[in-house]
Amino acid sequence: MTEYRVEHDTMGEVQVPVNALWGAQTQRAIANFPVSGQVMPPALIKALAQIKEACAKANADTGVLDQAVANAIASAARRVQTGELDEHFPLDVFQTGSGTSTNMNMNEVLAALAGVEIGNKVHPNDHVNASQSSNDVFPSAIHLAALNLVTDELLPSLKLLVQTLDTKAVEFTQIVKAGRTHLMDATPVTLGQEFSGYAQQIRRGTERVEAVLPRVREIPLGGTAVGTGINATASFRRSVYTYLPSTVEAANHFEAHGARDALVELSGQLKTVAVSMFKIANDIRWMGSGPRAGLRELQLPDLQPGSSIMPGKINPVICESVRQVCAQVFGNDTAVTFAGSQGDFELNTMLPVIARNLLESITLLSRAAVLLAEKCVAGLRPNEDILRGYAEGSPSIVTPLNKYVGYEEAAAIAKQALAENKSIKDVVLERGHDIGNLDQILDVLAMTRPDLG
C-alpha cells in the first residue's frame, strides 16, 4: 500500500506519495492529465534545471534571494541535471499548454531538496520561481534543450555520416554504373559520384541546422508573464544570462513570448535532413536488392536473419529503420508546425507538444545518422562486375553518338540494340556507321567525366 502525506496549495489539501519529492500542484497535474503515459523528455528536464540554477544565482546576485537559499536551489538543480531524479518528474507531455505543470513540478522538487539542505522551508513559488513565470521559463527550456541536443548529439552524428559517405565516395571513384532517372536506365555515373552527392546532402543539411541556431539561442527568459518583465528586474536579466552562456536574451520579448518561430524553423531544417537521409537509405536499399532478383549492385552488411520462415534471407534492416525514423520526423514537423501557429496573443499554448516532437526529432536523427554510418555505409561492398555490366548494357550509352549520327538515328540504334539484345557498338557497325574512335566514344567510365575528354 502506498503511503501518503498531505500537501497544500492555493486550492486546498492534496495527498502526495510520501516518498515523492513533488508537491500539491504536481499531484493535481498527475490526476488531471492521464493521457499518453509519455513524460517530458529528459533533455527538457535537464535544461529546465539548468535555467533554475541560473535563476537562483541571478536572484542571489540581485538580492532577491538569500545566498544560502540560492545555493541550495542551485545545488538541487545540479542534481536534477545528472538525471538521477528523473522519476520525480512524472507528468504527461499532454498537459497545460504553457508547461506550467512541469515548471511547478520542477519548482516543488527543487524546493523540497533545497529545504532539506538548509533545514528550513523553501517555497516553490516565492523562492525557486522568483523573478520568473512559466511563460518565459518553459519555452526557454525548450530552446536550451534543443541547443544542447543539436550541439552534443546531432551535429557530431551528421558529421560522422558525412565523413563515412565521403570515404566511400573516394573508395568508389573508379567504379562505373548505370545512371537512373525515372527508375529507368540513363547515362553512366560512378558509384563514387553518387556517394559524393549523398555526402553533400548531409553536409548541406548540417549547414542548414547550424544556420538556425543563432535564432534558437534567443530565449524569452526575463520577460516573465507576457514579455514586459513584471516581477523581474533589468539587473536580474543582465545577471541570469551570464550563467547561460549558450543563450542570449531575446531581441524582442513580445515576439519571443507570443511566437515559437525559431523552433518551427529548426524543425523544418530537421525535416530537410530527414528527407536527405530517406533518399540515401532508399537508394542504398534499392542497390542492395537481390540477391538474385534485385539490382545486386551493392552488398549490404549482414546483421540479422531477415525472415521467420525463409531460411538465409537477409534484409536491409538499417535502411528500413532509418526510413521509419524519417517518417516520424516528417510527422513531428507537421505537429510542430501546427503547434507553432497557435501563438494566441502573448503566449503559445502548445509548448509541451512542440517540445516533445522537436526533441524527439533531434534524438532520432542523431541516432539514425550513426546507425546509417556505422552499421550500413561503412560496410558496403560493390559488386563491380554487375555494376559495369549494367552500365555497358544500358541503351542510354548511345547518347554520345548524337553528334555523330543525330538524335533520331541514335534512338533507332538504341531501340534495335534493346530489341535484338545486342551491344550498341555492334548495332552501330551493323548499320554502316564509320566512326573511327567508336570504342573511346562508348567508354562508359569516360562518359562519367566528359569534361576531361
Angle at 387 between CA 386 and CA 393, to 5 degrees: 85
**3-state SS, residue 231:** coil
The span from the CA of 322 to the CA of 414, in Å, is 38
pLDDT computed for residue 452 by the predictor: 63
- Compute the half-sphere exposure of residue 91: CA atoms within 13 Å on the CB side of its CA: 31
Q: Per-residue pLDDT tens for 84-143?
A: 999 999 999 999 999 999 999 999 999 999 999 999 999 999 999 999 999 999 999 999
Whether residue 346 has pLDDT greater than 70:
yes
- Determine the average pLDDT of the residues in 423-434: 95
Q: Per-residue pLDDT tens for 153-205?
A: 999 999 999 999 999 999 999 999 999 999 999 999 999 999 999 999 999 99
365, 269 contact by CB (below 8 A):
no
pLDDT computed for residue 451 by the predictor: 77
C-alpha cell at 127: 523562492
**Sign of the torsion formed by the C-alpha atoms of 161, 197, 147 and 98:** negative
397, 187 contact by CB (below 8 A):
yes
C-alpha cell at 258: 507570443
pLDDT computed for residue 126 by the predictor: 98
On whether the pTM is more than 0.95, the answer is yes
At 372, which amino acid appears? L
Mean pLDDT, all residues of the chain: 97
C-alpha cell at 397: 550509352
User: Is 123 a catalytic site residue?
Assistant: no
- Active-site hit among 123, 140, 267, 307: 307
pLDDT computed for residue 1 by the predictor: 74
C-alpha cell at 71: 545555493
Angle at 370 between CA 84 and CA 299, to 5 degrees: 145
DSSP 97: T
C-alpha cell at 47: 535544461
**3-state SS, residue 6:** strand
The span from the CA of 307 to the CA of 299, in Å, is 18
- Determine the average pLDDT of the residues in 36-55: 98
pLDDT computed for residue 450 by the predictor: 85
The span from the CA of 143 to the CA of 74, in Å, is 20
Whether residue 453 has pLDDT greater than 70:
no
- Active-site hit among 134, 182, 246, 361: 182
The span from the CA of 407 to the CA of 402, in Å, is 5
Whether residue 326 has pLDDT greater than 80:
yes
User: Is 8 a catalytic site residue?
Assistant: no
Q: Virtual CA dihedral for 30, 31, 35, 36, nearest 10 degrees?
A: 30
The span from the CA of 231 to the CA of 131, in Å, is 6
Orientation angle between helical segments 24-32 and 100-118, nearest 10 degrees: 150
Whether residue 304 has pLDDT greater than 70:
yes
